[in-house]
C-alpha cells in the first residue's frame, strides 16, 4: 500500500470546496505520455493552477499504470523544480470500471478515483459506488460517482444516446454512496464528434456547425437539490476549429467534428461544476502540430523535433483553458 500523501499528491476535497466557493473549475486533463504530462505541469505552474492528472483505462493499457503513477510522482518534483513551492496535483483514475480497478489504483498511490457505474441499473450503481467509497475513504482518497449517461462512448461503455441526470435522484445517490463529487449528464459527450450535423445549426457567416446548448436547466435543478456539492462535467472538449483545419490541411480527415463552445464551459465553471474533463482537445493540438511539422520538414526523423512543437502547442492549449475558460489560475 502506497499512500499518495507520501508522493506529494493531494485529494480533491479541499480543492473542490475552494473551487465551488470561488466560482471556478479545476482542469482535469488526461495524460498518456511524457509530453502531455510535461505540458500539463508547465501550464499549471505558469498559471498557478491546481490540476488533476487523469489516467483512463486506455492510458493504463497503453502506458502501464505503474509507469503512469511514477510519472505523476515525478510531476510533483518537476512542478517544484519549475518554481512552484506547493503544487496541488491530484492523480485520478478516470472512468474506473470495477471495484478491483479502483482498489488497485488506490493501493498504488492514486489520490482520487472515479467509479463509473452510470450504465448500471440505479441500485447497482449505488451499491458499487458505496463499496468503492468505503474502501477509498479509509485512505482519505476521494471518489467521483456518475449518474446519467453521456452520449457516445464512455471508455468501453457504449450509450447510443444521452440520458440526462435525473435531479430527483441526486440527493438519494450522494447520501447513500457517500461519494465526494458527482459527474452528471447535461448534453456533453466524449470525443471530437459530440453532435451530429442534424443536431446543429449552421452559422450563416462562417458556415460552421453550431451545436445545441447544454441543459443548464438540468444543472440548475441539480444544484438546487445539492447546494454547494461538487459537480463534474465529462466530455468537455471544445474541438478548436483551428486545430481541425490544420489537421485537415496537412493530410488529415476530420469531417464535421464539433465540441462544446467555450462560453458554455465558462458559464458552467462559475456554477457548482468544479471539475471539467478535457482530453480530445489535447489530442487535436498534438496531432495538428505533429502533422504540420512533418509536412513542413519531410526530412525530419528526430521525434523530439516534432514532439517538441506538439508539447508547446498542448501547453498553450492547457494555459488557455485554465485562464480563459475554467478560471483556475492564480489559486496557488
Name the active-site residue from 61, 94, 97, 116.
Answer: 94
Contacts of 122 (CB under 8 A, 6+ apart): 169, 173
- DSSP run (H or E) holding 176: helix 170-177
The question of whether 242 is a catalytic residue gets the answer: no
- Which of 4, 9, 11, 30: binder of ligand 13P (CB under 6 A)? 30
Which residue's CB is nearer to ligand 13P, number 39 or number 84? 39
Please choose which of ligand G3H, Zn ion, ligand 13P, none residue 57 contacts, taking the beta carbon within 5 to 8 angstroms, the exact cut-off set by kind: ligand G3H
Sequence-ordered alpha helix ranges (H) in 49-92 = 57-63, 65-81
Residue 278 site contact among ligand 13P, ligand G3H, Zn ion, none (CB < 5 to 8 Å, cut-off depends on kind): ligand 13P
Q: Which of 319, 324, 326, 301 has the alpha carbon at shortest distance from 43? A: 319
What one-character DSSP code corresponds to residue 211? P
DSSP state, 258? B
Interatomic CA distance for residues 15 and 8, integer angstroms: 15
Q: Is 234 in the site for Zn ion (CB under 5 A)?
A: yes
* Helix axes 280-296 and 303-320, enclosed angle (nearest 10): 140
User: Strand locations in 100-168, DSSP E?
Assistant: 112-115, 142-147, 152-154, 157-159
**Which residue stretch of 80-88, 228-236, 262-270, 317-325 sits at the interface with ligand 13P (rule: CB under 6 A)?**
228-236
Cα separation, 36 vs 44, whole angstroms: 12
From residue 195 to residue 214, the character string flagging contacts with ligand 13P as x (rule: CB under 6 A) and all else as - is --------------------
Is residue 261 a contact residue for ligand G3H (CB under 6 A)? no
Q: Where are the alpha helices (DSSP H) in 108-161?
A: 122-137
Nearer to Zn ion (CB atom), residue 234 or residue 321: 234
Q: Does 30 bind ligand G3H (CB under 6 A)?
A: yes
Q: How far is the CB of 69 from ligand G3H (least distance, A)?
A: 16
> Which residue in 276, 120, 66 sits closest to 186, CA to CA?
276
Q: What track of x and - describes contact with ligand G3H for positions 184 through 203 (by CB under 6 A)?
A: ------x-------------
Q: Based on the shown chain and the rule CB under 6 A, indicate whether residue 101 belongs to the binding site for ligand 13P.
A: no
Residues 6 or more apart whose CB falls under 8 angstroms from that of 198 comprise none
Among 280, 287, 293, 313, binds ligand 13P (CB under 6 A): 280
* Closer residue to ligand G3H, CB minimum distance, 45 or 53: 53
279 near ligand G3H (CB under 6 A): yes
Q: Select the residue interacting with ligand 13P from 60, 92, 234, 315 (CB under 6 A).
A: 234
CB-CB contact of 226 with 170 (8 Å): yes
| 263 class by beta-carbon count within 10 Å (0-12 exposed, 13-18 middle, 19+ buried) | exposed
Q: Give alpha helix (H) positions in the chain.
A: 13-22, 34-47, 57-63, 65-81, 99-107, 122-137, 170-177, 216-225, 241-249, 262-269, 280-296, 303-320
Total number of residues binding ligand 13P (CB under 6 A)?
14
Q: Does 32 interact with ligand 13P (rule: CB under 6 A)? A: no
Please, which residue, 42 or 179, has the CB nearer to Zn ion? 179
> Is residue 146 a contact point for ligand G3H (CB under 6 A)?
no
DSSP state of 154: E
Q: Is 202 helix (H, G, I), strand (E, B) or coil?
A: strand
Binding residue for ligand G3H (CB under 6 A) from 10, 40, 59, 159?
Answer: 59
Interacting residues with ligand 13P (CB under 6 A): 30, 94-95, 190-191, 234-237, 277-281
Residues known to be catalytic: 94
What are the residues binding ligand G3H (CB under 6 A)? 30, 56-59, 94-95, 155, 190, 279
Amino acid at each position: 500500500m502506497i499512500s499518495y500523501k507520501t508522493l506529494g499528491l493531494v485529494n480533491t476535497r479541499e480543492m473542490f470546496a475552494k473551487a465551488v466557493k470561488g466560482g471556478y473549475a479545476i482542469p482535469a486533463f488526461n495524460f498518456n505520455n511524457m509530453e502531455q504530462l510535461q505540458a500539463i505541469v508547465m501550464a499549471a505552474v505558469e498559471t498557478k493552477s491546481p490540476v488533476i492528472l487523469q489516467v483512463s483505462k486506455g492510458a493504463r493499457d497503453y502506458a502501464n499504470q505503474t509507469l503512469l503513477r511514477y510519472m505523476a510522482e515525478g510531476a510533483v518534483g518537476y512542478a517544484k523544480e519549475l518554481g512552484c513551492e506547493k503544487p496541488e496535483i491530484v492523480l485520478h483514475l478516470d472512468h474506473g470500471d470495477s471495484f478491483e480497478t479502483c482498489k488497485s489504483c488506490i493501493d498504488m498511490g492514486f489520490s482520487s478515483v472515479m467509479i463509473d457505474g452510470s450504465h448500471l441499473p440505479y441500485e447497482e450503481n449505488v451499491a458499487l459506488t458505496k463499496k468503492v467509497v468505503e474502501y477509498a475513504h479509509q485512505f482519505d482518497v476521494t471518489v467521483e460517482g456518475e449518474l446519467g449517461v453521456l452520449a457516445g462512448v464512455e471508455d468501453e461503455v457504449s450509450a447510443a444516446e444521452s440520458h440526462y441526470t435525473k435531479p430527483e435522484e441526486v440527493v438519494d445517490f450522494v447520501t447513500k454512496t457517500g461519494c465526494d463529487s458527482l459527474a452528471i449528464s447535461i448534453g456533453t459527450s466524449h470525443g471530437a464528434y459530440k453532435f451530429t450535423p442534424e443536431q446543429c445549426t449552421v452559422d450563416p457567416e462562417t458556415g460552421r456547425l453550431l451545436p445545441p446548448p447544454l441543459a443548464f436547466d438540468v444543472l440548475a435543478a441539480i444544484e438546487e437539490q445539492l447546494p454547494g456539492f461538487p459537480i463534474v462535467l465529462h466530455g468537455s472538449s471544445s474541438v478548436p476549429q483551428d486545430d481541425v483545419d490544420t489537421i485537415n490541411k496537412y493530410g488529415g480527415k476530420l469531417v464535421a467534428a464539433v465540441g462544446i463552445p467555450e462560453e458554455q464551459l465558462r458559464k458552467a465553471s462559475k456554477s457548482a461544476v468544479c471539475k471539467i474533463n478535457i482530453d480530445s482537445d489535447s489530442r487535436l493540438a498534438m496531432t495538428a502540430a505533429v502533422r504540420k511539422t512533418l509536412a513542413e520538414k519531410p526530412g525530419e526523423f528526430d521525434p523530439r523535433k516534432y514532439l517538441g512543437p506538439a508539447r508547446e502547442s498542448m501547453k498553450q492549449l492547457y494555459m488557455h483553458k485554465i485562464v480563459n475558460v475554467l478560471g483556475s489560475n492564480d489559486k496557488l
